[in-house]
Amino acid sequence: MVVNIERLFSKRANRLRSSEIRELLKLTQMPGMISFAGGLPNPKAFPVDIIHQCIDDTFKKNSEKALQYGTTEGVTKLRRVLAERMRKTRGIDCELHDILITSGAQQALSLAALVFIDPGDTYLTSVPAYLGAVQAFHAYEANCESIPMDEEGIDTDSLRRNLERLRRTGIYPKFFYTVPTFQNPSGE
């Protein structure tokens, strides 16, 4: 008997779309391709020697724990150091429980969507926007209201008009997603 596994998928899984980012990244694998499309950093910018040294030091000092499972929130020692750094360098009242280590921006965005978005909620985003964020929010059935950018950043007049229009219909956006510096995908 052949089971059609797709008929067992959740509604959320069936709403997921193929990622345009994934398709762009496939192109970067072509021999000789120099692509700016996937947002990939120049490999020469990676501090490979420093990373090797850190790995060597970790295994010399802490080999019995280096490859073990850790807490879901991330390595406690790293979280403690990051919290202290936030207090000292940024003046932010930050404790261990305020820090969550993710595998990258995409996981963090998906977790934020899980926590903040209910089906039918509305959020605002600048346009252009990071496609990975829009896809993460879409998976949780959020409605997107796009706010254009101008040469100075967010078009605040458009933002004001959109907020007023939404309020007249009883819609209060949950959040505004934007990348304020080195904006992805524009780089502004």
Q: Is the pLDDT of residue 182 over 70?
A: no
Q: Which of 8-12, 52-56, 78-82, 164-168 has the lowest mean pLDDT?
A: 8-12
Q: For residue 65, what pLDDT is reported?
A: 84
Mean pLDDT, the chain, rounded, equals 87
Q: For residue 70, what pLDDT is reported?
A: 84
Q: For residue 117, what pLDDT is reported?
A: 95
Those residues with Cβ within 8 angstroms of residue 126's Cβ, 6 or more apart along the chain or in another chain: 146, 147, 148, 149, 154, 177, 178, 179, 183
- Three-state SS string over 122-148 comes to EEEEEECCCHHHHHHHHCCCCEEEEEE
Top-confidence residue, 146 or 181: 146
Q: Which of 10-14, 70-74, 106-110, 123-127 has the lowest mean pLDDT?
A: 10-14
Task: Write the DSSP string, 144-179.
Answer: EEEEEEETTEE-HHHHHHHHHHHHHTT---S-EE--
Q: Is the pLDDT of residue 19 over 70?
A: no
| Mean pLDDT in residue range 141-166 | 94
Instruction: Say whether domain 105-177 belongs to CATH 3.40.50.1220.
Output: no
Q: Is the pLDDT of residue 188 over 70?
A: no
- Report CA Rg, the chain: 21
Q: Is the pLDDT of residue 128 over 90?
A: no
Q: For residue 21, what pLDDT is reported?
A: 63
Q: CATH 3.40.640.10 in the chain, residues?
A: 105-177
Confidence of residue 35 (pLDDT cuts 50, 70, 90): low
Closest CA to 10 of 89, 119, 90: 119
| Mean pLDDT in residue range 46-69 | 91
